[in-house]
Amino acid sequence: MVDRLQARGSHERAACRDSSYRRIPEQTPAMSSPASPPPNEPLLRMDVATAAGTARVRLAGDLDLSTEPAVRARVAALRGDGSTRIVLDLAELDFIDSTGLQLILELYGDAAQDSFTLALVPGGDAVQRVFAVTGTAEVLPFIEG
């Protein structure tokens, strides 16, 4: 009986090595996520408007590990250019992860130490849930849009 099982197993392995064996691709175009942006489309768009020392940074898309450095650099550049009030508009933000939350908390701390003002325009339900769950919604300076 053992010999028959071993023979059967080797026959099945040989069938898998047969040239007619086709490997199923991991993901076909029909299986791709509809929410995924096209390969060259940015995950985050930043629109900046400045007036009288205030810079309003409107974020649209995802604020996460891959996009946080660009937001950090943009805010630093605005501070370097003399903006004394930074408004981060999260209304068009689709997603924020812990890296994005950490950035906002760091900017809030920097504002207290470096004598500039930070204000946040609330995002949609999914974004605001991150602030609610972490208990930061009551601490951070949210304003009306």
Dist. CA 123–CA 83, nearest whole Å: 23
Two structure tokens written together for 11:
């026959």
Give domain limits for the chain.
44-134
Residue 37 to residue 48: CA distance in whole angstroms? 23
Which pLDDT value is given to residue 38? 61
Amino acid 25: pLDDT = 43
Label the pairing between strands 54-63 and 117-121. Answer: unpaired
Q: What is the mean pLDDT of residues 54-74?
A: 98
Report the CATH architecture of 44-134: 2-Layer Sandwich (3.30)
- Average pLDDT, rounded, for the chain: 83
Which range has the worst mean pLDDT, 1-10, 86-95, 103-112? 1-10
Mean pLDDT across 21-25: 42
Token pair belonging to 138: 């009551």
Rg (CA), the chain: 25
